Amino acid sequence: MTRAIPVAEDFDPVPSLHTVPAIDVVVAAETPDDVGFVAVVTTSASPAPAGHDLDALRAAGFSGASNEVHVVAGTPPTVIVGSGSGELTLASARDLGAAIAVALPTTTSVAIEIGDVDAEVAQGVVEGVILARYSWSALRAEAASRPIESITLVSTSDAVEQGARRGHLKALATTIARDLSNAPPAHLTAVRWAAIAERSAPDFGLEVEIHDREWLLAERCGGIIAVNGGSDEEPRLITLTYTPDESIANGHHVVLVGKGLTYDSGGLAIKPGDVVHAMMKNDMSGGGAVFAAMFVLRELAVPTKVTAHIMCTDNMPSGTAMKMGDVITHRDGTTVEVLNTDAEGRLVMADAIVMGTESDADAIIDVATLTGACMRALGTDNAGVMGTDQSLVDLIRSAGEDTGEPVWQLPMGANYRAELDSDVADMKNLGGMNAGASTAAEFLAHFAKDTPWAHVDMAGVAATVAPKGWRTRGMSGFGARLLVDVLERFSPNDATS
């Protein structure tokens, strides 16, 4: 069938898989001669680095305050950037790296005289530099910004090299997630996404399985089959598996589940033709975060085995679309009455969560742009987190603080579950008018059964509303670094059956 928007078969919607790993990130004892500009980190207590006149800096208004930037002409030019009065942290270093990157936006190589800092500061600086210069320009005649090609951290600290490497990998995860979410729906269908996984995952140490509509039907995945009913595009389940080397493996297993709605029209409950509808190419952002996180686990030597299930489809209206009042049957036999075809994310993820329970996972974590209710409750700066295991929820909250991807815990309970009772099936896919994020979480919790489970609702944070520093315009890539942090820290004490 000829598509309304033809897309070349070789079009690559995820350039970060190739460009970000190619960035040259090194540590050197001295500043090299062949860099585009030199950044010197200073403090408000000592705002004048060696070789620079304090009175001249003060006359220019430079005080060394956090992320304050002063450009000194020369060959190469020098950027003096303030770190404030306190010691740098992972978060403030990320902001400082971003301030450096945006100071001279046309330069592709930078040497940063950072001093003898710890690994977290080095990590944050590299993350900030790379993320601040990100843009998705695959369909533009000219790139929106020039990407960084080379970062040299000038330091004699042994910890800096390790931190720089971690920052490079963490930034890669976020840029992959941003690429996926920024790609238009015709350029990132379920089938195209699956092809990217097949082509790229083995190079990053991942096993990949792709399952089509016939497999999903045979395996009783009623949710994704129903949601896909109105589409001309086939659904796909992308399953990625990371198995740590025996020398580091801790014997534990986490299952990630991602909502991969490559476009959500709302189905027959079609969304209004407004800016929210136009944004619905990003309804796969949870799946994008899960996908992206998997690609850095090997290089970070994560000791826990991780399986990711990404349920990919679009949600379209047609004569074969799922209807309000239909009853679907999920993999575990649960029947669900569909009261709203725009509450589809929970339907596609439910069967993947069931698969997680079948694999003897120590924990299941799902990520989704699930409810407008979560956005209305928390705004656009915090995702929601809910779960059946408080220690797992606390681990996610802690990782959110460190990655600059904050989450706020919302309530669950029997009162919310009661709102899902149906007269004709085991459950409804929609609760009442209020607390939509909590009733949606209760729906998903049903399928997790006794397995420790947590759910991140990222509806409000999938797009960057107020671009600043490393948070660039467009889709945020939220959740990729958050998940990586959780997986690095996960231990059996974090989630108890």
Q: Which residues are catalytic?
A: 271, 346
CB 177 within 8 A of CB 52: no
* 81 backbone dihedrals φ, ψ, rounded to 5°: -125, 130
E strands, 57-191, where?
A: 69-72, 78-82, 109-113, 150-154
- Cα(236)–Cα(213) distance, rounded to whole angstroms? 7
- Which distant-in-sequence residues (6+ apart) come within 8 Å of 162 by Cβ? 119, 122
CA Rg value for the chain: 23
Helix axis angle, 345-358 to 436-448, nearest 10°: 30
Other Cβ atoms within 10 Å of 273 Cβ, number: 8
- Cα(226)–Cα(375) distance, rounded to whole angstroms? 26
Other Cβ atoms within 10 Å of 358 Cβ, number: 12
C-alpha to C-alpha distances, 231 to 189, 268, 468, nearest whole angstrom: 11, 12, 37
Using a 10 angstrom Cβ sphere, with 0-12 exposed, 13-18 middle and 19 or more buried, the burial of residue 339 is middle
- Cα(286)–Cα(483) distance, rounded to whole angstroms? 11
Q: What DSSP element (H or E) covers 418?
A: none
SS3 letters across 328-384: EECCCCCEEECCCCCCCHHHHHHHHHHHHHHCCCCEEEEEECCCHHHHHHHCCCCEE
Could you tell me the two tokens for 244?
Answer: 């740590």
- Cα(110)–Cα(132) distance, rounded to whole angstroms? 13
CB 183 within 8 A of CB 13: yes
- Which distant-in-sequence residues (6+ apart) come within 8 Å of 67 by Cβ? 81, 82, 84, 95, 96, 98, 99, 469
Could you tell me the two tokens for 336?
Answer: 């669900």
CB 82 within 8 A of CB 76: no
- Which distant-in-sequence residues (6+ apart) come within 8 Å of 131 by Cβ? 94, 98, 171, 174, 175, 470, 471, 472
Using a 10 angstrom Cβ sphere, with 0-12 exposed, 13-18 middle and 19 or more buried, the burial of residue 429 is buried
- Cα(442)–Cα(371) distance, rounded to whole angstroms? 13
C-alpha to C-alpha distances, 424 to 327, 333, 344, nearest whole angstrom: 8, 14, 19
